[in-house]
A and B are shown apart, each in its own frame.
Chain A
């Protein structure tokens, strides 16, 4: 097995690395003093040069995002805020929890460095409501760092102030979406805001705000400490660095792995993640959290784990790196109904297509799963997903639509096999290629 890189997880194997004394023996908070001697713009440049892409799911280049913060003279006297997204609620994703639990100082250091880089004096860590126990640990780490002068006023005598606060959500997946997160931080229902304006220009409390994922913040620490070039030694040209993957489902060694981007996906599943249970075959993989399109075994075999390859090979995304592996015992109709129940439960209820469409899709899928649906329902399902995708306020709509579209497209038999066939609907009506040989139904207008 290839050596796994260990740059974000380097202290995870060390007992009690969440304690500052232990962590500092192994390099924690050693980057901050050097960073404070750099100009903020220099730090942003290093992060830009490293090619680091946001690890929360969208993969937007972090340094570029920081560059969107308006210069002081264009802020109408408003402060800048940094918000660390520790909501981690995309099904299949649990790496941020591990990171905060095992080595909170890693991302805290990144938060202080990033806040300095963007000119923020206050940073908020938004944790999902269920992470009360994680928050305790992070709060302890903040207190330790404050006691050592790494957080607070006049950090290490540099004149730089950065306060770091934790803020606990209360149970809502959508609060992972950055503008919903900001609404929630402001004390409101966690509903996404219209873009434009973008948070970097008008975010929390209508002030410029940068939202970054926990893992992104940890990577910043390493990048500023070791340089952009060192970071680029990992990963690929367009997906530099390492990535934390959360692996779950039908593998023998589920868990969090740090990988060098660009490694073959099949090898990762079959070796690193322990492979499947004996006698089982791979049926499908959802590579980047439940929202991204599903991959077939053939696609998995051709893909490497990085932003480009996954998309080129399968139309899917690396997303949050939450990989859900399903073997041949999996009932995909049931699986998709499960996911749509999730989305129907989590829609913020704000915009029409998502509010009404997710529940509707779930009700249809429930009937499909229970054998109370026809093939016309499948065409309706596909059509509803198309009517939601990119017609909504936030990306949640697409997140709910993509599983429906991709599961139907790539595994039509799993669904056609579960419904009453009227003959009015064919594979093309659910976006699938007609299978070789068997030509059920064919295309009709009936479902339009």
Chain B
């Protein structure tokens, strides 16, 4: 067993988290269906899914540790490595590419000194190329945390990243869908 703790801390749930997990598990006829929700909770709590964290998740949902790791390894949003504080996930699939995704990626790359894992030395950013995020009509676009930043231009990217750097909480971006009016005018 891996006994080195996650980031030097012991991994465990709080009472409150345990209660939440029980509530989640009660939504499904089988406890192991709580796997993805619990992996998400673990990722929010611990930042990423180290081996000790995966063991905790496995124990929580009642599967062997190998299963928790297999599931985590399958899904791209579950972090198997630590990342920077802001993960810039730029879509590079066809529709976004047709509208300049590569230009946006090159622009971001030129702004910082990313290492081979896509992290900046200060731990602030991680740059990731991701596949289609269902925002193809408003590309190029990127996801940071939960938010979509759409119709990106180099200037818009500068503005967004400057916001992250300043540490000021940014206004939540309005999804393109909110602006969407074209076929509704008639």
Interface positions of A (Cβ within 8 A of B): 1, 3-4, 6, 9, 12-13, 79, 88-94, 96-98, 101-102, 128-133, 163, 165, 167-173, 184-191, 205, 207, 246-250, 253-258, 272, 274, 290, 322, 324, 326, 330, 334-335, 338-339, 342, 345-346, 348
Which of A129, A248, A253, A346 is most buried by chain B, counting CB atoms within 10 A of its CB?
Answer: A248
Do A258 and B183 touch across chains, with their CB atoms under 8 A apart?
Answer: yes
Of A168, A272, A290, the residue contacting B40 (CB under 8 A) is: A168
Of chain B, the residue at the smallest CB distance from A326 is B98
| Contact indicator A250/B98 (Cβ below 8 Å) | yes
| Pair A4/B134 contact, Cβ less than 8 Å | no
Q: Is A187 touching B136 in the complex (CB atoms < 8 A)?
A: no
Contact, CB under 8 Å: A94 / B97: no
Distance in angstroms from B61 CB to nearest chain A CB is 7
Total number of A-B contacts with CB less than 8 angstroms? 173
- Interchain CB contact under 8 A, A186 and B39: no
Contacts of B131 in A (CB 8 A): 91, 173, 342, 345-346
Q: In the complex, what's the smallest C-beta–C-beta distance from B22 to chain A, in angstroms? A: 15
A3 nearest CB across to chain B (Å) = 6
A6 to B71, Cβ gap below 8 A? Answer: no
Binary per-residue interface labels of chain B (49-81) against chain A in the complex, 1 for a CB within 8 Å, 0 otherwise:
000000000000101000100110011111000
The number of chain B residues touching the other chain, given as a range, is 35 or more
- Nearest B residue (CB) for A258: B183
Among the stretches B3-11, B25-33, B156-164, the one at the interface with A is: B25-33
Binding site for A on B (CB under 8 A): 27-30, 32-37, 39-40, 61, 63, 67, 70-71, 74-78, 92-95, 97-99, 131-139, 143, 146-148, 175-178, 180-184, 186
In contact, A246 and B184 (Cβ under 8 angstroms): no
B133 in contact with A130 (CB, 8 Å): yes
A128 (CB) vs chain B CBs: closest residue: B134
Q: List chain A residues, Cβ under 8 A from B175.
A: 101, 133
* Interface-central residue, B97, B148, B177, B180, by most chain A CB under 10 Å: B177
Cα–Cα distance between A171 and B131 once the two chains are bound (Å): 9
In angstroms, Cα B93 to Cα A9, docked, is: 27
Residue pairs across A and B with Cβ atoms less than 8 A apart, 24 shown, are A9-B184, A12-B184, A91-B94, A92-B95, A92-B132, A94-B134, A97-B177, A130-B143, A133-B146, A170-B75, A170-B78, A171-B76, A186-B30, A186-B33, A187-B36, A190-B75, A247-B137, A248-B139, A249-B136, A322-B136, A324-B94, A330-B98, A335-B94, A342-B132
